[in-house]
Structure formats: C-alpha cells, structure tokens
Amino acid sequence: MPHTASDSNALLARRQRLLGPAYRLFYERPLQLVSGQGVWLRGADGRDYLDAYNNVVCVGHCHPRVVEAIARQAATLNTHTRYLHDGILDYAERLLATLPGELGQGHAMFTCSGSEANDLALRIARTHTRAQGVIITHNAYHGVTAALAEASPSLGTYVKLGAAVRTVPAPQPWGLPPEQAAQAFAAGVQAAIDDLRLSGLGVAALLVDTVFSSDGIHTDPLGLLGPAVEAVRAAGGVFIADEVQPGFGRTGDTFWGFARHGVVPDIVTLGKPMGNGHPVAGLAVQRDVLAAFARECRYFNTFGGNPVAMAAASAVLDVLEAEGLQANAQRTGAYLRAGLQRLAARHPVIAEVRGAGLFVGVELRGADGQPATERATRLVNQLRDHEGILLSATGPQAHILKIRPPLVFEPAHADYLVNGIDRALTALD
C-alpha cells in the first residue's frame, strides 16, 4: 500500500530525532524511495520517478550483473587488504589500463569513499612536494574529511577554507568568450601560486573536478586545463584530477574527464560510480609521485579494496564494456542537449545549455541577466512533484540544472526529460 503524507511526516520526524539536524534532504517534500531498476526509482507513494541525477549508479540501479557479483563474492570471502587476494590485483590491472602515459604505468590505491581518496591524494602530494598549498575552484566540492571540507567551499559559508587553500574562478565565467577560458583560468591559478609562495606555503597541488560540476559544469573548450596544469608543475606542484563525478565514460568522447583536455594528471581520484553504489573508491598515481609517501608513511585501509568491493568494481567495468555505455553517453548526451537547446528557443529563462556526454548543465537567468536561483528551485520541485523527474541544481547561486543520469539513459528517456522540463517551465510561467 502506498505511503500517505502522514506516514512520510512520521518518518521525517523519526529521522530528525535519530540522525540529528546536520543531515540534509532533497526537495521541499522529501522523497522516500523503496526500489530501483535502470533509470527508474519507485517511491513509497507507488509512483515511478525518472532518475536524471544519480551518477553514483553509473550502470543503472540494481544492475543484475553487479548485484550477482556482489552476492557471489560476499558468499565466498570478504576480508581486508592485508592478505593476498587476486581480486584487487586483477582490478588494479584493468583500471590502470584505462589511464594514459605514466599514470597508466603507475600504482592504484583503494579506499571506501571519494573523500578518503582525495584526502589520501593530498597527503601524497604534500609529501612529494614538501609544500602545503592547495589550489581549488571557488565553489568546489571534494569531500567531507577535515582536510577536504576545508577545500570544499560548496559545503557553505560556515565551513572555513584551510589556511593553505586558495580558490580561483571556474574556467568559464558567464560572458567570457570560450577562446579566452583556458588563459583566464591559468591566470587565476598563477595568482594563487604567487600568493602561496608569498605566504611561505609553497604549491603542493591543483585539485579540480574535471567538469567543474559544483561550479556550474564547464566542459569546454577542449584543452582548457592545459595552461593551468603547466603553471602548477612549473611551480613544483602536482595536478590531481578529481574524477569522482565525471569518470568512467560519462563525458562520452573520453573515458576520463581530464582526457578531453589533453593532460595527464599526476594523481587521479575515483569514487561514487566505481562500484555502482557499493562503497569503493581509490586513486591512481604516477610512480615517482608516490615514492616519498611510500618511503615515509605506512598505508592501509581495512576495507578499501576488499574482495566484495573489487567484485563490484570489476562488474561495473564489465557492464560498461559489454553494453557500450561510453558510446551511449556520447550519443544520448548529444541528443539530450539538442532537445534542451530547442527548449531554450521557447523559454528565455534558459540562458545556456552545456556539457559533455551525459553530464549536462542548463543555466537559468532572468530577463535582467541575473542568476534565476528561485526559478531553478521551483523548477526542480515542480519536476519532482508533477512530472516524476529527479534532478538538482548546482553552481554558486544554485541556478544551473544539473543533469547526470545513469549511463543506461536512452533517447526515449531524454525525450521524457525534455518534455517534462518544457511542461514544468510552462506551468511556472
């Protein structure tokens, strides 16, 4: 029997009592989910919702091949990584084979979350460079450990930046011609480098999400990261590519977001989509970058890379390959963006559609050119309540629709999404 509003209110009150006030929920009317399959989620209200947001389950909710791999390994063995086991080595070989140059000849290390992976990457970078300074973008999100919260301004104004953290503008502020984006971003990075040097902190790393998802989704022009990475390396720092959101084929034209820009990171961090929702994450690092850390620090992670986690991650790679999901992301993503571009001709509030593959941003601005934050909030809730579509908003003013569905999203689902946005905007107008 579908849950009623009173059932939901009771569940919400129970959650607040048991989990406390720090947790946040999506939507003005929180959504209770009971099952999922592919790109669909079933609510406790008995309704099916199109999931246009959940990159965590990159090969779709409850994919049978991943579910079976997890169950089979859990029924056989699950222990930590201080014993020998083929699973972690087999996966490390497959993962490194997807990476270019010296990174692909490097090492893989495993954690349980993207936050842990980014935290470990910073430790490695600081040990390698003997410097402390970290450069991030203005509205970045990289994790929830103490070190990463201090480098994640999108967590809110009350979470203070670390003393060794400097922020720079995202690579394509509104109104900047695309051909100027790479140099403008590099100029911001160089200014941060100069400030870190003056402060005596030195430059340990440039850490960026390679599609700048929390900054508003900036994927183009191709090559925009190159000059900034050169500047950081010239200053003695390393480049850490945070691929937790854009990785594993989501951008369509390349398997990794950084590859669109012709750069090879010193460290690449991985997370959410890696195990299709199972808690597995990690990083790949060039050999010479890891050397000092390996010499001076012990590393182990009790359940990072455990046999069940590796079975899940390996099954994800199997599905990505067998079902051609990177190619699907490119094909369906282009189809989706074209549909959204047509909407922009009818709805002036759509200022720009951008993205790559199945990572799409729809920027909303008012007639005065200002970010349409309230309109974005109303639209996200209208889509959930009246169209059965789940997505969210991003950017410093939360005025950019963030669309990143499971990679099994098909053109028919894109039509459903575009038509739903069309009706929702019309209703709001």
Give residue 4's pLDDT.
67
Entry pTM: 0.95
What CATH number did the domain enclosing 13 receive?
Answer: 3.90.1150.10
Structure token pair of residue 301: 């992670």
- Residue matched to tokens 């720090």: 22
Task: Tell me how far apart the alpha carbons of residues 332 and 389 are, in angstroms, rounded to a whole number.
Answer: 17
Q: Torsions phi, psi of 346, nearest 5?
A: -100, -20
Neighbouring C-alpha atoms within 13 Å toward the C-beta of 419: 9
Query: Are residues 57 and 69 part of one domain?
Result: no
Query: Are residues 331 and 239 part of one domain?
Result: no
Which one-letter amino acid corresponds to residue 51? D
Q: Which of 195, 156, 189, 157 is nearest to 170 (CA)?
A: 189
Reported residue count of the chain is 429
Give residue 9's pLDDT.
85
Query: Are residues 232 and 354 part of one domain?
Result: no
Task: Tell me how far apart the alpha carbons of residues 77 and 308 are, in angstroms, rounded to a whole number.
Answer: 8
Structure token pair of residue 300: 């182990």
Show Cβ contacts of residue 128 under 8 Å, excluding neighbours closer than 6 positions.
204, 238, 289, 290, 291, 292, 293
The torsion region of residue 86 among left (phi > 0), alpha (psi -120 to 50) and beta comes to alpha
Write down the mean pLDDT value for the chain.
95
Average pLDDT value for residue range 379-396: 96
Q: Is the pLDDT of residue 187 over 80?
A: yes
Query: Are residues 289 and 155 part of one domain?
Result: yes
Give residue 25's pLDDT.
86
Q: How far is CA 415 from CA 324, 357, 378, 410, 427, in A?
A: 21, 16, 21, 9, 18
- State the pairing for strand pair 238-242/203-209: parallel
Q: Is the pLDDT of residue 358 over 70?
A: yes
Query: Are residues 381 and 247 part of one domain?
Result: no
SS3 293: helix
Residue-number span of the structural domain to which 335 is assigned: 5-62+324-427
Neighbours of 134 (CB within 10 A): 29
pLDDT tier for residue 173 given thresholds of 50, 70 and 90: low
Indicate the angle between helix axes 411-428 and 373-382, nearest 10 degrees: 120
Query: Are residues 68 and 57 part of one domain?
Result: no
Average pLDDT value for residue range 400-427: 98
Average pLDDT value for residue range 238-261: 97
Residue pair 55/404 in contact by the 8 Å Cβ criterion: yes
What CATH number did the domain enclosing 108 receive?
Answer: 3.40.640.10
Give residue 341's pLDDT.
97
Query: Are residues 104 and 26 part of one domain?
Result: no
- Domain boundary, last residue among 307, 322, 337: 322
Q: Which of 245, 260, 237 is nearest to 171 (CA)?
A: 260
Query: Are residues 283 and 366 part of one domain?
Result: no
Strand partners, 362: 353, 401
Give residue 69's pLDDT.
98
Neighbouring C-alpha atoms within 13 Å toward the C-beta of 259: 17
- Domain boundary, last residue among 322, 338, 362: 322
Residue pair 227/185 in contact by the 8 Å Cβ criterion: yes
SS3 141: coil
- Domain boundary, last residue among 301, 322, 343: 322
Q: Is the pLDDT of residue 1 over 80?
A: no
The total number of structural domains in the chain stands at 2
Query: Are residues 400 and 279 part of one domain?
Result: no
Average pLDDT value for residue range 264-268: 98
